[in-house]
Amino acid sequence: MQDKILNTGAESAENKEPIISTRGLVKKFAGKTVLRGIDADIYEGEKVAVIGPSGSGKSTFLRCLNLLEIPTAGKISFGDDVIYESDYYAQKDKLNDLKDKKRAYLSGADDDEVRALESRENQLKIQLKDLKKELEALRTHAKLLKATSYREGAAEEAEKTERRTAQALRQRTGIKAEIKNVKAGIKRRKSVVKSSLDEAKIAAMNADISAQRIVTSSSLSRHKKFIKKMDRTVDAHRRTTGMVFQHFNLFNNLNVLDNITLAPVKTGVLEVRARRKALKAAAKAGDENAKAELLTLPHKLEIIENARKNAFALLDRVGLKDKAYVYPATLSGGQKQRIAIVRALAMNPRIMLFDEPTSALDPEMVGEVLQVIKQLADDGMTMVIVTHEMGFAREVATRVLFVDEGKIKEDAPPKELFGNPKNDRLKEFLSKVL
């Protein structure tokens, strides 16, 4: 029965447009790839839990959804708006690969024999390192034996240690000599290879590089245009995307009420200002409707008043109405997080993104925050929540994503994902956390 209800939900979701979509989302930090192509759709009313090992990219994924991180490649849509799209970094990678290939060819490193020799060299180096470690251990052991020479059998053991040390030293000399030989071999082979490079192949490589340069540079100019436009869209996007962090991120120099009303007042005033400007221009051109609407625009005090009213209503919902005028420092972790949730809600978001909202809390405060989130879920708020609270994910989520090594490895309703996991890494992960 339960399954049926879930399935119907999923079917109807497929007919709707997702609120947020990502395609091939890639994020790199200084060459390290953290997200490796994430395709995700979040539909209206869904409660999506994101689980996975530490460092797998869960926070990075969430931060990309809110454009707190600019992705390296891929596409993010918010409703009908494409808020990020670029393949510049991917094209740049292709160009670099082609250049690397040419460099390897020209230096002779591309040759099979060179490769075999180099891998032999690496092997030997590892052996050398191991021997070095062993020799150190032997030396320490010898010292210890010397200090406890009164022990029975100490002399015998010392002799054994000495023998092994001498043997290891001989091995070390042998390996060092072989490394020298292999290195010389690499040098010789490379010069042979270099003297017989194929001019036609080099020309073809150059042609590939030139062609890729053109593709990369045109994708760069598209990327730059997009980023420029994005400055404007980012603000609008973030306004409708409420984000709640592990460490609350409240403004400690503002009281609770100001924390909550700061952003709505600021954006309210900016919106009215922009509208007034537009209306004034229209009125000047003789538009009577514009003249009439100009008179109805709210005054800043009215905007503030409304924001406050809304803040009190929200505070009431989370049971913290009496904390409106205190400063965050006087609140418990659970209270701070509930305020942070209210602050996000005050912007009337279409979707809420939670990044481990309870993992910085003392255990006795986890419940009160989860309760507020559950209430929001029951009220129909769309949400994505990165969490380690498997019980909560099972109870509240309509869908669970398992992220591992920067990819979504499993995507299923909680009952299925927890009850019948398919991916091996997920099975291993669940065996540790459940």
Ligand X SMILES: Nc1ncnc2c1ncn2[C@@H]1O[C@H](COP(=O)(O)OP(=O)(O)OP(=O)(O)O)[C@@H](O)[C@H]1O
Q: Which residue has the tokens 């400690």?
A: 252
Residue 379, φ and ψ in degrees, nearest 5: -75, -5
- DSSP string for 357-424: TTTTS-HHHHHHHHHHHHHHHHTT-EEEEE-S-HHHHHHH-SEEEEEETTEEEEEE-HHHHHHS--SH
**CB of residue 359 to ligand X, shortest distance in Å:** 8
Applying CB under 6 A, the site for ligand X has a residue count of 10
CB atoms within 10 A of CB 145: 20
Nearer to Mg ion, 318 or 344 (CB): 344
d(CA 329, CA 95): 52
Q: 399 contacts which partner out of ligand X, Mg ion, none, CB within 5 to 8 A by kind? A: none
Q: Please choose, out of 47-55, 87-95, 192-200, 208-216, the segment that lies near ligand X by the rule CB under 6 A.
A: 47-55
**Shortest approach of ligand X to residue 248 CB, angstroms?**
16
Rounded Cα distance between 278 and 274, Å, is 6
Nearer to Mg ion, 58 or 399 (CB): 58
> Of 57-65, 87-95, 107-115, 317-325, which part binds ligand X (CB under 6 A)?
57-65
Nearest approach in angstroms of CB 58 to Mg ion is: 5
In the block, which residue shows the tokens 């045109």? 218
Contact flag: residue 58 with ligand X (CB under 6 A): yes
Nearest approach, Cβ of 100 to ligand X (angstroms)? 23
Which positions from 140 to 179 touch ligand X by CB under 6 A, shown as an x/- string? ----------------------------------------
The sheet carrying 382-386 orders its strands as: 241-244, 351-355, 382-386, 47-51, 399-404, 407-412
Q: At what angle do helices 256-284 and 300-317 cross, to 10 degrees?
A: 140
Of the candidate residues 7, 12, 55, 139, the single one contacting ligand X (CB under 6 A): 55
Q: Which of 22, 56, 219, 335 binds ligand X (CB under 6 A)?
A: 56
Instruction: Specify the residue, 279 or 426, whose C-beta has the smaller distance to ligand X.
Output: 426
Q: Binding partner of residue 196 among ligand X, Mg ion, none, CB under 5 to 8 Å per kind?
A: none
Give 202-211 contacts, CB < 8 A, sequence gap 24+.
202/102, 202/105, 202/106, 205/98, 205/101, 205/102, 205/105, 206/102, 208/98, 209/95, 209/98, 209/99, 209/102
Q: Residue 403 CB, nearest distance to ligand X (Å)?
A: 7
Residue 33 forms beta bridges with which residues? 28
- Contacts with Mg ion in 36-75 (CB under 5 A)? 59
353: β partners: 243, 384
Cα–Cα distance, 330 to 351 (Å, whole number): 29
Stretch that binds ligand X, among 52-60, 71-79, 184-192, 279-287 (CB under 6 A): 52-60
> With contact defined as beta carbons under 8 Å apart, do 67 and 237 qualify?
yes
Whether the CB-CB separation of 323 and 312 falls below 8 Å is answered with no
Q: Which stretch binds ligand X (CB under 6 A): 54-62, 78-86, 150-158, 217-225?
A: 54-62
Residue type, 99: K
Q: Which is closer to Mg ion, CB of 94 or CB of 388?
A: 388
What is the x/- site pattern for ligand X, positions 10-39, by CB under 6 A? -------------------x----x-----
Tell the smallest beta-carbon distance from residue 81 to Mg ion (Å).
26
Q: Which stretch binds ligand X (CB under 6 A): 49-57, 282-290, 308-316, 327-335?
A: 49-57
Site for ligand X in 332-391 (CB under 6 A): none
Residues lying near Mg ion in the complex (CB under 5 A): 59
Contact residues: ligand X, CB under 6 A: 29, 34, 52, 54-60
